[in-house]
Amino acid sequence: MNPVVETTRGRVRGTVVDGTAVFKGIPYAATPSGDRRFAAPEPVPHWDDVRDASEFGPTAPQPLYGPPLDKLLDEVMIPGENPLNLNVWAPDLEASLPVLVWIHGGAFVHGSSAIPIYDGANFARDGVVFVSINYRLGAEGFALVDDAPANRGLLDQVAALEWVRDNIAKFGGNPHSVTIVGESAGGMSVGALLAMPAAQGLFHRAIAQSGAGHSALSADTARTVSRALAEALDIEPTRAGFSTVDPDRLITAQEELTVRIRGDKDAAKWGEIPTHAMAFEPCIDGTVLPELPIDRLAAGACSDVDLLIGHNEDEMTLFFVPSGVDSMIDDNSLRILAAPYGLTEPASLEAYRSARPDTTPGQVLMHVLRDWMYRIPAVRIAEARAAHDAATYVYRFDWKTPVFDGRLGATHALDIGFAFDNLHVPGNSALAGPTPPHELAQRMHQAWVTFVTTGAAGWEPYGRQRTEMVFGETCETVDDAEPELRLLWNGIR
Closest by CA to 431, choosing from 402, 398, 405, is 402
Q: Pick from 164, 66, 197, 174: which is nearest to 128 by CA?
A: 174
* 104 catalytically annotated: no
Number of alpha carbons in the 13 Å side-chain half-sphere of residue 37: 18
What residue ranges in 248-335 does DSSP mark as E strands?
283-284, 306-312
As a whole number of angstroms, the distance between CA 188 and CA 157 comes to: 12
Compute the CA torsion angle 393, 397, 398, 401 (nearest 10 deg): 170
Give catalytic status of residue 214 as yes or no. no
**Of residues 104, 367, 412, 445, which has the active-site annotation?**
412
Exposed, middle or buried: residue 267 (CB in 10 Å: 0-12, 13-18, 19+)? middle
Strands 205-209 and 306-312: parallel
Does residue 315 have an active-site annotation?
Answer: yes
H runs (alpha helix) in 35-182: 121-125, 138-142, 152-167
Kindly name the residue from 184, 210, 215, 226 that is annotated as catalytic: 184
Report the C-alpha gap between 158 and 197 in whole angstroms. Answer: 10
Q: What are the strands of the beta sheet with 51-52, ordered from one edge?
A: 4-6, 11-13, 51-52
Of the listed 243, 315, 445, 468, which one is catalytic?
A: 315
Q: List the catalytic residues.
A: 184, 315, 412
